[in-house]
Amino acid sequence: MRKLQIIMTGVAIAAFISTPAFASDHGHNNKHDQHKSHWGYSGEAGPGHWGSLKKEYSACSAGTQQSPINIQTQRALASKVGEIKFSYQPTPVAVVNNGHTIQVNYAPGNTMTVSGKTYDLLQFHFHSPSEHMINDKHSNMEVHLVHKGADGKLAVVGVMMNTGSMLNALAPVWNRLPHELNKVTLNPGTINAADLLPNNTQNYYHYMGSLTTPPCTESVSWYVMKDAVEVAAKQSAKFSNLIEENARPVQGKNRRFILANE
C-alpha cells in the first residue's frame, strides 16, 4: 500500500504513514479527544501548558519569536520584500482529520517563490477563529498554506477568511470531510490551492515567527495576506462543529519587525 506524507497541523511534524493504519476506528466524536493527543486547545493540554508537556515543546514557552501575532497595520514598516510567485496546479489531495484541524496534503510539484527562494507546497489547513489578528480583530477563519524549502526551512502563507459569500474552492474538501479521528479521505478529483488565495497576493505582511502548534519551532517565514477571502457562515459552521475552536492565542512581538509589502 503506498504511503502518504502527512505533515501535521499548524506547520508541524512530517511523518510517513500507511493509509490503512491511519484510518482509525475511534468514531466521529473527536472534538479534541485529549487522551489521544499530547496537546490541545483547552484545559491542562492547552496552549498555556504546551511548553511543559514535553521537552521537545519547550520553545512554546521559552521561544522569543512565536506565532501567531497581532499585526498592527499602522506600525508595519513599508518594504519591498518582493513579489510572491505562486505556481500551483490542480492536483489530487488527501484530506485528513487529525483531531486538531482539517488538513489537505498536497501532491508534489507546486511551489511559491519569494525573494529568490522557492518553497514546495506541502499542505494547507484551517483555524477557527483566525490565529493572526489584524488591528486587534480576529477573522472568522484562517487558512495556512505550508511550504518547505530545499534547506528545510518553512514558509507559511496565511489568508484571512471573513464571513460572506460561499467559497466554492472549499467544496471538494468540505463535501468529503472525514469525521473519524485520523481518517484519510482520498479525493478522486482535483483541487487548486490558488483558489484559496485573494485576488491581490502582492500586498502582504511578512515577519519571522514559528509553528503555531507544538513543537513551536522558530525560524518560520510568515506571509500574511492583507486581503481576505470570503467564506459562507454555513461553511465555517461545518468546520467548527467538527473541530471546535483551534486557534493559539497571539504571542508577543518581542521587538520583531513586521514588514508590509506593497
Instruction: Please give the Cα distance from 125 to 112 (Å, whole number).
Output: 17
Residue 215: cis peptide before it, omega within 30 degrees of 0: yes
CB 141 within 8 A of CB 174: no
- Alpha carbon separation from 11 to 36, 74, 235 (Å, rounded): 20, 28, 23
Region of residue 51 (phi > 0: left; psi between -120 and 50: alpha; otherwise: beta): alpha
Instruction: Please give the Cα distance from 196 to 72 (Å, whole number).
Output: 24
Burial (CB count within 10 angstroms: exposed 0-12, middle 13-18, buried 19+), residue 93: buried
Residues catalogued as catalytic: 100
Which among 4, 40, 44 has a CA at the least distance from the CA of 21?
4
